[in-house]
Amino acid sequence: MGLQNRAQTHSEKPTSAPCPCRLRRPSPRGSERAFGLQFQKMLRWRAVLLLPLPLPPPPRLLRRLPHPRALSSSSSSPLPPPGMEASYKFGPYKIDAREVFHATPVSYAMVNLRPLLPGHVLVCPKREVKRFAELSSDEISDLWVTAKEVGARLEQYHKASSLTFAIQDGPQAGQTVAHVHIHLIPRKKGDFEKNDEIYDAIDVKEKELKEKLDLDIERKDRTMDEMAQEANEYRALFS
């Protein structure tokens, strides 16, 4: 019986846990690789969190284009000189601002289309007035004060020694443009053989002025550029 029990004891082998030495351990290389991947993933997330948010693109500023009519008008007519109006009235005619070199609130002075002598200019009231008697007292005062100031500067500029102021008040007096204006002419010794001849010359120039304004043809004697250049020189005398 004892032998039998021993035999059974030896024949039935009890189940036991596997040997710890046989358990599969992770290789050192595999664990390092997994740790490295996890670390790289953490770094990527950290970089994403630290990056600033992209700014939206700035809004496009739309330039407001001028109206086509404004473009055409600005390209066709040059800007007036500083302090000058766009145009001036001389009777029924429109005078370009580039021809005007001095102006007050009620008077203006412009270069002449065909000057009789160097510095021959016209001083006019801004208001369209046919006869001298129709001017107000303020207009008369300002007109002559303007003529005095213009004359003094032009006499010095042209190294003249005298001045002629002339008004043709009405058609029978030789006025051809129905707008009061003073002929202002710097004078030098010997510019006319007989001094009174200048008044006949003024009559001739007055008629030529009206003919040119009426016909509105190309100015053969003086171009707009020449007149504008002279006006610029005179304008500098008042700055």
User: Which residues are known to be catalytic?
Assistant: 181
Q: Report how far apart, in Å, the C-alpha atoms of 39 and of each of 26, 34, 134 are.
A: 19, 9, 102
Helix, strand, or coil here: 103?
A: strand
Residue count (the chain): 239
Residue type present at position 136: S
Nearby residues of 38 by Cβ (< 8 Å), 6 or more positions away: none
- Tokens 């303007």 correspond to 146
Kindly give the residue spans of alpha helices, DSSP state H, lying in 51-101: 68-76
φ/ψ (deg, to 5) at 90: -135, 90
Nearest-5° angle of CA 27, CA 28, CA 30?
A: 65
Q: State the residue for tokens 């001036």.
A: 88
